[in-house]
Amino acid sequence: MAELAYWEALRRAHDEELANDPMVIAMGEDIGVAGGTYKVTLGLYDKYGEERIVDTPISENSYTGIGIGASMAGMRPIIEIMSINFALLALDTLINAAAKIRYMSGGRAQCPIVMRTPGGTAHQLAAQHSARLARLFMGTPGLRVVTPSTPLDAYGMLKSAVRCNDPVIFIEHESMYNLKGEVPDEEVFRPLEGAEVIREGTDITLIGYNYSVHWCLSAADKLAQEGISAEVIDLRSLKPIDRETIRRSIEKTHRVLVAEEDEAPVGVGSEVITGIIEDCFFALDAQPVRVHAADVPVPYNYNLEKSAIPDAKDVYQGALKVLGKV
Amino acid sequence: MSKIDRKRLLREMVFFRRFEDRTFEAYMERKIGGFLHLYSGQEAVATGVLEVIQAERGIGFDYVITGYRDHIHAIKTGARAREVMAELYGKETGSSKGRGGSMHIFDPSVHFMGGYALVGQPFPLAAGLALACKHQKEGRIAVCFLGDGANNQGTFHETMNMAALWKLPVLFVCENNLYAIGTAIQRSTPIIDQYKRLAAYNIPASQHYGQDIEVVMEATQSAVDHVRSGAGPYFLELLTYRYRGHSMSDAGAYRSKEEVAEWMQQDPIQILAQRLIEAGELTEEEFKAMEQAVQDEIDNDIVKFAEESPEPKVEELTKYVLEDNPDPRWIGPLEAQGGGHG
């Protein structure tokens, strides 16, 4: 069992999948000679060559479209987009083509692509480099949306995503690339569907995905010091959402908080809480709370940025509110 | 071209004209819904280009992709006309099982990779198909048909840049019919001759008369030779004209009667028919009989098949959104196999 950083786990998944199947290629800006903005493809250009580790011009919509076209002809492209903000340029080809080609061909064509991209705020990157946008892809039939929060999931879910025959939006986070965790030495696949209870508890359920999982975990630590037992769920997949795991947890804890880095209107939390109301309303002993970003473009100023984006402290405070302690 | 080839090609073009006319009628009878973009007037382009491509298919199918004016490209590529008509009728027997309609005809079994209703979107998809062809080294190429209006999209420029940079085996066929929906070409771009735009990307390109199928075929042959040689993409501009409006909701009032009449005098079917008649290869009677036989085939077989085919089952509404039976190892659900958080 090795301790790997999130970026190293992704790099290992690339390496293994490229070695496993000659139809796998990686495409993106600066991923080849330069080794990738977040080092995810470091060294792979030397190992696999320019035809499999493809440095693209800055043309997100069309190089994503090229990946989609190639996937229709039997390739398995992993398309890296440097920031989810730039993925907006590729929305036409992702939402109008990749997501719909299987359906509008009556199941006769398919697009097995993975679009990897970090969505999130890091350090003062300001409005055009700090978007989250998970909610945008969640609302599109025909896509899978996954949000690995650990090196193990980053590794195992990327390997599964490459082998999946549906288009997968694989959302990472700028602030997670250096996060470390254990990954087994042997080959592991982690399924693209299914939420996971990552900490058992009895008093309240804290639900997160991607980076917000880590806020939930530290909030749970703090709550534990006060004798409150919090259960933490990592959603892992935003499309589809595993409502069954959420229901089971709430029937045990009867209280719930959802933590997201997306903005609240039409956010991930809106969808999760709607599901909770539909599935287990009568199991609730308190009003659900969502912790979310402010409805503003992310500001540059450090203090303003900090106030726009929630953190572990907000999750802790929110939990106290659910528990009726504030 | 041999005599037999020319007569067969003429019959195919007559078939394509009648096919589109019949869809017009079915639309007026409200048997076909949605948008319907007809190809009448442009037959020599798809027929000529794809005839050349098909003649070289000993190595397997090349890929073909296009925009929403796609019925004829699909049929000439190898999709069954019955299934294309059934698709227009929204039937389960349609080429996309009634899920795609007029603008989304697909038949991957003959490598017809779809009609797309976003202008310019097929450019990168075609380059991607070509990237796969290059990677798989089986000698295939990709052929992308799009109208002149698509060349004003960003995807045109982005894709030409990458296709040239990576020497992708892709033939771009620009069907320049002088109108982008209802806007005349001189009102949407200062570059009337579309092939000149390709100089910016170092892609060889040429312009030809698209109403004469023999001109189209000759130009296609040298373009395809270039692409198959591994030298990279080629851009073929063919000047043509659509007789009907952009779609069924467009009567085409933005065009003068004189202009339409002038182009109707340059009808691709009449040009080839007259040439064969003058050469003594075809009589007026034979031509009339050909037209009648085509009409009978379309009415008695193609349309009948579409009309008698079943509707898709409503219970299958959500089929084909994602893979039907995905491998549980990749998809899940997540089983207890040790948490990601140690």
- Give dist(CA A164, CA A110) in Å, integer: 11
Q: Do B116 and A97 touch (CB under 8 A)?
A: yes
The alpha-carbon radius of gyration of chain B (Å, integer) is 21
Q: Do A110 and B323 touch (CB under 8 A)?
A: yes
**What does the domain layout of chain A look like in residue ranges?**
2-183, 196-323
Which among A63, A66, A96 has the least Cβ separation from residue B118? A96
**CB neighbours (10 Å) of residue B335?**
9
Give A295 to chain B, closest Cα distance, Å. 31
Domain A196-323 in the same topology as domain A2-183? yes
Q: What is the mean pLDDT of residues B247-276?
A: 92
Confidence check: pLDDT of B111 > 60:
yes
- Per-residue confidence band for B341, with pLDDT thresholds at 50, 70 and 90: low
Hey, of A62, A155, A166, which one would you mutate to test binding to chain B, going by the most B CBs within 10 A of its CB?
A62
Active site residues of A: 60, 129
Residue numbers of A between 206 and 225 with CB closer than 8 Å to B: 213, 217
Q: Do B100 and A66 touch (CB under 8 A)?
A: no
- Per-residue confidence band for B245, with pLDDT thresholds at 50, 70 and 90: confident
CB-based contact (8 Å) between A25 and chain B?
A: yes
Confidence check: pLDDT of B133 > 60:
yes
Q: What is the mean pLDDT of residues B167-185?
A: 96
> Which H or E run contains A205?
strand A204-208
Q: Do B128 and A236 touch (CB under 8 A)?
A: no
CB pairs under 8 A between A and B: 216
Assess if CATH 3.40.50.720 describes domain A196-323: no
Chain A contacts of B161, Cβ < 8 Å? 57, 59
pLDDT of residue A117: 97
Hey, of A88, A108, A245, which one would you mutate to test binding to chain B, going by the most B CBs within 10 A of its CB?
A108
pLDDT of residue B332: 87
CA angle A7, A12, A14 (to 5 degrees): 95
Which among A57, A142, A191 has the least Cβ separation from residue B162? A57
Under-70 pLDDT residues of chain A: none
Asked if residues A276 and A248 have their Cβ atoms less than 8 Å apart, the reply is no
What is the average pLDDT value for chain B, to the nearest integer? 95
Hey, of B116, B322, B323, B337, which one would you mutate to test binding to chain A, going by the most A CBs within 10 A of its CB?
B322
3-state class of A314 per DSSP? helix
Confidence check: pLDDT of B226 > 80:
yes
Q: Do B342 and A181 touch (CB under 8 A)?
A: yes
The model carries a pTM of 0.96
Chain A contacts of B335, Cβ < 8 Å? 191, 194
Kindly report, residue by residue over A196-243, the tens digit of the pLDDT: 999 999 999 999 999 999 999 999 999 999 999 999 999 999 999 999
Q: Do B98 and A106 touch (CB under 8 A)?
A: yes
Nearest residue of A to residue B105, measured between CA atoms: A105
Hey, of A50, A104, A113, A197, which one would you mutate to test binding to chain B, going by the most B CBs within 10 A of its CB?
A104
Q: Do A62 and B123 touch (CB under 8 A)?
A: yes
Confidence check: pLDDT of B161 > 70:
yes
pLDDT of residue B252: 83
Q: Do B330 and A192 touch (CB under 8 A)?
A: yes
pLDDT of residue A1: 85
pLDDT of residue B334: 84
Which among A64, A152, A166 has the least Cβ separation from residue B322? A166
pLDDT of residue B49: 98
- Per-residue confidence band for B247, with pLDDT thresholds at 50, 70 and 90: confident
Chain B contacts of A73, Cβ < 8 Å? 63, 113, 128-129, 132-133, 136
- Per-residue confidence band for B224, with pLDDT thresholds at 50, 70 and 90: very high
Residue numbers of A between 55 and 84 with CB closer than 8 Å to B: 56-57, 59, 61-75
Residues of chain B with pLDDT > 90, as a percent, come to 90
Kindly report, residue by residue over A176-202, the tens digit of the pLDDT: 999 999 999 999 999 999 999 999 999
Fold of A2-183: Rossmann fold (3.40.50)
Which among A105, A192, A199 has the least Cβ separation from residue B114? A105
- Per-residue confidence band for B55, with pLDDT thresholds at 50, 70 and 90: confident
Q: Which residues of A1-37 are buried (b: 16+ CB within 10 A; e: fewer)?
A: eeebbbbbbbbbbbebbbeeeebbbbbbbbbbeebbb
Give A160 to chain B, closest Cα distance, Å. 4
Strand-pair category, A256-263 with A204-208: parallel
- Per-residue confidence band for B312, with pLDDT thresholds at 50, 70 and 90: very high
Residue of A97, A47, A162, A234 whose CA lies nearest to B342: A234
Which among A142, A191, A242 has the least Cβ separation from residue B321? A142
Q: Do B121 and A65 touch (CB under 8 A)?
A: yes
The residues, ordered by sequence, that sit 6+ positions from A312 with a Cβ below 8 Å of its Cβ are A214, A215, A216, A218, A219, A222
Q: What is the mean pLDDT of residues B13-23?
A: 98
Which among B94, B124, B129 has the least Cβ separation from residue A62? B124
Q: Where are the alpha helices (DSSP H) in chain B?
A: 3-28, 43-55, 71-77, 81-88, 122-136, 154-165, 213-228, 257-264, 268-278, 284-297, 304-308, 328-331
Structural domains in chain B, CATH included, are 3-310 (3.40.50.970)
